[in-house]
Amino acid sequence: MPSNPVPPKPIPLHAFVLLFVIAGATDALIYRHSHQLLAVYMTGNSSHVGQALALQEWSATLPLLGVIATFFGATTLAAWIGNRAGRPNPAWRATVVLVMTALLVGIALSIIDAEGYSLAAITWIAAGMGTLNQVSAKESGVTFLTGALVKTGRALAAGEWIACLDGLMRWVALVSGAAIATLLDERYSNQSLLFVIAALLLGAFLTGWNALAHQREASRASPSGGAPE
């Protein structure tokens, strides 16, 4: 009689909190170096598109649409790759997606010059943030907090304290990431993106460790002692 499959391990809480630190850090750096083009929040870019269209500012519209399209294309591709990376062990999805995000942000860092974040650099960062949002197939996104705050308010109203604490931890993590990145930017300027890349690689390590632990548990649960079919 076949044994029950070992359920996939969720992303470790410390790794998940780290994702919001990354989001806050990236967003703070973008705000400091690009006031018109955003790489983390497509809501703001979409609002700017509407304003530019209304004012017939075509030169501003095209870059905004390019960043949004890049974010959407990257998050779609990351979802496709993540789904396949998670077979047969879903825990590998997060590791693969985090490594992809680190590579994309690394490309952005390599083309940033002393004058600040160019359109090309912001586009690569947007691709990275779109990718980062596919770390978990069960989360609507990990780089924005509006939905999380709404859920936290519902949880607080219902007296669901654990869920409320989870939402507040995400908010604190994002604010902390923004504060850290701002302090680093004051001292190291463009090289502050190295903090984001390091945090992404740390997240990849933590989730990879989690995936290996799941794989070992699944192997022990298998009747043959090998990898589950």
Q: Which residues contact 62 (CB under 8 A, 6 or more apart)?
A: none
Are 16 and 227 in contact by the 8 Å Cβ rule? The answer is: no
pLDDT for the residue numbered 128: 96
Is 2 a domain residue?
Answer: no
pLDDT for the residue numbered 5: 53
Is residue 196 classed as helix, strand or coil in its secondary structure?
helix
pLDDT for the residue numbered 1: 41
Mean pLDDT of the chain, nearest integer: 87
Phi, psi (degrees; rounded to nearest 5) at 115? -80, -10
Is 4 a domain residue?
Answer: no
Is 178 a domain residue?
Answer: yes
Segment 114-157, tens digit of pLDDT: 777 889 999 999 999 999 999 988 877 788 888 888 988 999 99
Is 6 a domain residue?
Answer: no
CATH code of the domain in which 97 resides: 1.20.1250
Are 8 and 89 in contact by the 8 Å Cβ rule? The answer is: yes
Segment 169-179, tens digit of pLDDT: 989 999 999 99
Range of the domain at 102: 13-213
Is residue 115 classed as helix, strand or coil in its secondary structure?
coil
Q: Which residues contact 204 (CB under 8 A, 6 or more apart)?
A: 94, 95, 98, 99, 102
> For the chain, how many structural domains are there in total?
1
Is 56 a domain residue?
Answer: yes
Is 69 a domain residue?
Answer: yes
Residue 191 has pLDDT above 80, yes or no: yes
Rounded Cα distance between 162 and 179, Å, is: 26
Rounded Cα distance between 68 and 226, Å, is: 44
Lowest mean pLDDT among 5-9, 11-15, 20-24, 33-37: 5-9
Give the predicted TM-score (pTM) of the model: 0.87
Is 108 a domain residue?
Answer: yes
Is 224 a domain residue?
Answer: no
